[in-house]
Amino acid sequence: MQSHEIDYKIYGEEIQCVEVELDPQETAIAESGSFMMMDEAIEMSTIFGDGTGQDKGFMGKLFSAGKRLLTGESLFMTAFTNQGRGKARVTFAAPYPGKIIALDLSYYGGKIIAQKDSFLAAAKGVSVGIEFQRKLGTGLFGGEGFIMQKLEGDGMAFVHSGGFVVERELKAGEMLRVDTGCIVAFTQQVDYDIQFVKGVRNVIFGGEGLFYATLRGPGKVWIQTIPISRLASRILSYGTQPNRREEGSILGGLGNLLDGD
């Protein structure tokens, strides 16, 4: 294996964290801001590049770091190395309510395509890069734009999603229509495209947008129940309403008055 072989355990339900166990001199890499806690033997260092640890020279590292910016990540990543003589643990926390998905890249052919800004942590040796959408329509209307995140290597990687995660194994030729914002990740064999919503009434009054994302097998897909953009939109809408309406209550405004709102 080119990547470090790490053990892990995921804790929690709504807001999860993943505990990574490292042998001496093993390293885990993580997105900036995901660190939660670590044992004394682990040392933290900031790295510049895609996380593989390969010596690409300054320009190579600058190019790989620049690609990460296009997927919503920062220029720098953080490496956590066990400098002790025994096992040590480091824990990474999810940034918002949802699920952490553990992906063994060696099991999925060494490559997973994921939504932008979904990467949480991985074993050292896993490359975090970009995947360009070759189809014009998919790039313009597919929800994730022309650029998605690409995880390559033969080690463990962890991505985060919103809400609950549904896993589907698609057979050859089998197609699944998905809301464009609900895709978390899919294997490299899956064909990703978009499809226009049929029916004038569906387009005007359906409230589901103009396009579906279509995922055609063979391969595995991970679907989230609530994208962070949808969650943020609902919270913002709720907070900016001048007169909050009590849903399901016959008291309406009187109920707001009684509870102090």
Task: Domains for the chain: give ranges and CATH numbers.
Answer: 7-240 (3.60.160.10)
Let me know how long the chain is: 261
Output helix, strand, coil percentages for the chain, rounded to the nearest 5. 15, 40, 40
Mean pLDDT of all residues in the chain? 79
33-38: average pLDDT = 93
Q: 38: part of which helix (H) or strand (E)?
A: strand 35-38
Banded model confidence at residue 51, pLDDT cuts 50, 70, 90: low
> pTM value?
0.78
Statement: residue 99 has pLDDT above 80: yes
pLDDT for residue 73: 55
In this predicted model, which residue has the larger pLDDT, 249 or 98?
A: 98
pLDDT of residue 147: 73
Q: What is the mean pLDDT of residues 137-156?
A: 68
pLDDT tens for 191-220 read 988 776 654 444 444 445 567 788 999 999
Query: How many helices and strands (H and E) does the chain possess?
Result: 5, 19
Residue with tokens 């993580």: 30
Confidence of residue 241 (pLDDT cuts 50, 70, 90): low
Listed range (28-42, 46-60, 141-155, 180-194) with the worst mean pLDDT: 46-60
Q: Which of 95, 76, 147, 154 is nearest to 116 (CA)?
A: 147
Q: Is the pLDDT of residue 245 over 90?
A: no
- Give the per-residue pLDDT at 209: 52
Distance of CA 254 to the CA centre of its chain: 42
pLDDT of residue 152: 93
Q: How far apart are CA 191 and CA 214, in angstroms?
A: 8
